[in-house]
Amino acid sequence: MLNRWFSMPLWQRILPAMFLGIVVGWLWPASGDYIGWVGEIFVRLIRMVVVPLVFVTVVAGVASLDSIRDMGSIGLRALGMFIGLSVVAGCVGVALAVAVQPGRGASLEGLASAPGIAGRSLPDQLLGIIPVNPVAALANGDMLAVIFFAIVIGAGILSAGSVAQPIKALFASATGVMSRVITGVLETAPLGVFALVATAVGKGSSLSFMNISLLAICVLLGSLIESLLIHSALIRFVARLPVLRFFGGATDALLIAFSTGSSSATLPAAIVVAERNFGLHKSVSSTVLPIGASIGRDGTAMYVGLLAVFASQAFGLPLELKDYATIVVATSLVALGTAPVPSASLFMLAAVLSTIGIPDSSTAIIVALILPFDSVLNMVRTVPNATCNLAVAVTTARFENAIDEQVFAHPPRL
């Protein structure tokens, strides 16, 4: 029975646990007094992995950019576009959440410590990004300081060159280890979700079906805006190529992105599409696309920005303009370093929410309650990751004169 249980997809185990939690919480409102500790264990496991996950993935991501440096203008041009598109995607997610307000009406205040934005001025917040004591920043979960320190360490590895290869390999290995740790934590999700949902329903705190539905609609709209507007504009006005031909040629890769929910799994198809349907030279397809599979995460940036504002609405926390700006900056940074693990973006959410004063204990509640639906949402938001990667590759090739426009306009028939 255990083998059969663990062989099932995670979402097929979480959904029944969630519905069972709803029933138990409704029939037994005091259930949280007896099983709440199970949910607290799951919350603590999530909190345990967030800081080391953010630190090692950001360091490893920056350290891996030596390949971009070696590629010269191709790599630098692609890197600039990936970063710029990530910022735009974060803005799209925040704007959708503000406009639609999917978290409005939710009641989660009784499930975690009350969040609140630290009353610091903007100069103090900017100064706080630079940690006086990096160890203390890691211990206290000061995420912007942790991210800044990780970027500095990654840049140091880059500048040290070959002498730093063992350190670079260490952080790459650490990223793999943290991916396995996340996978292990997610295996406890069914029990954790059951206990948290039962406690939430018993206390009258919950995310309604309407909240989740609005969130899903926002993810779909955000993905469409990213792919059909932002990336199309890059192809049409920067690369100056026909948009319909781009999407027609990219269909195979986009279908694989949607069905697998994985940017890494989409990479082989993206390379074939780029060379066969778009006429990109190998100098671009074999360099830009692998990098994009690692850092081209527009769907993730949009999703995390959306979730950050969604969480603030669910906890009744008002945000100011500077808080939205902070969310966009933090979202763009963590999206570039998100590990290629299912639902890893949910774990990175804590790095963003902590910058606006929402404690990781409250973030863990959001993660646990959204996790049952994240598998479907992940499939949707992986598509703009794929369109971002291909759009940047095509635009880079256009600037480098590394594209066969005849092939792009008239791809070979199969």
> Is 414 part of any domain?
no
412 in the Ramachandran plot: left (φ > 0), alpha (ψ -120 to 50) or beta? beta
The phi, psi pair for 129, rounded to 5°, reads -65, -30
> Is 175 part of any domain?
yes
* Domains identified in the chain, total number: 1
> Is 25 part of any domain?
yes
Pairwise CA distance, residues 141 & 50, whole Å: 9
Give the count of beta carbons closer than 10 Å to the beta carbon of residue 239: 20
> Is 373 part of any domain?
yes
Res 122: pLDDT: 52
> Which has the closest alpha carbon to 296: 395, 391, 216, 375?
391
The phi, psi pair for 206, rounded to 5°, reads -165, 160
Give yes or no for a contact between 305 and 89, defined as CB atoms under 8 angstroms apart: yes
* CA atoms 210, 213, 217, 223: torsion sign: positive
Res 339: pLDDT: 60
pLDDT in tens, 279-314: 998 878 877 887 787 777 899 999 999 999 998 888
Res 119: pLDDT: 46
Pairwise CA distance, residues 30 & 351, whole Å: 33
Residues of the chain with pLDDT under 70: 65-73, 107-126, 204-209, 337-344, 360-361, 412-414
For tokens 């140091």, what's the residue? 156
Res 197: pLDDT: 79
Res 107: pLDDT: 66
* CA atoms 332, 377, 348, 76: torsion sign: negative
Burial class (CB in 10 A: 0-12, 13-18, 19+), 22: middle
Quote the radius of gyration of the chain (alpha carbons, Å).
Answer: 22
Pairwise CA distance, residues 90 & 85, whole Å: 9
DSSP secondary structure letters along 223-283: HHIIIIIIHHHIIIIIS---HHHHHHHHHHHHHHHHHH--HHHHHHHHHHHHHHTS-B-HH
Give yes or no for a contact between 145 and 130, defined as CB atoms under 8 angstroms apart: yes
Res 373: pLDDT: 79
Res 175: pLDDT: 83
Give yes or no for a contact between 383 and 258, defined as CB atoms under 8 angstroms apart: yes
User: Could you tell me the CATH number of the domain that includes residue 179?
Assistant: 1.10.3860.10
> Is 239 part of any domain?
yes
For tokens 């029990």, what's the residue? 191
DSSP secondary structure letters along 330-342: HHHHHHHT--SST
Pairwise CA distance, residues 373 & 175, whole Å: 25
Res 167: pLDDT: 92
> Is 292 part of any domain?
yes
Its domain, for residue 122, covers 2-409
> Is 240 part of any domain?
yes
> Which has the closest alpha carbon to 143: 370, 297, 356?
356
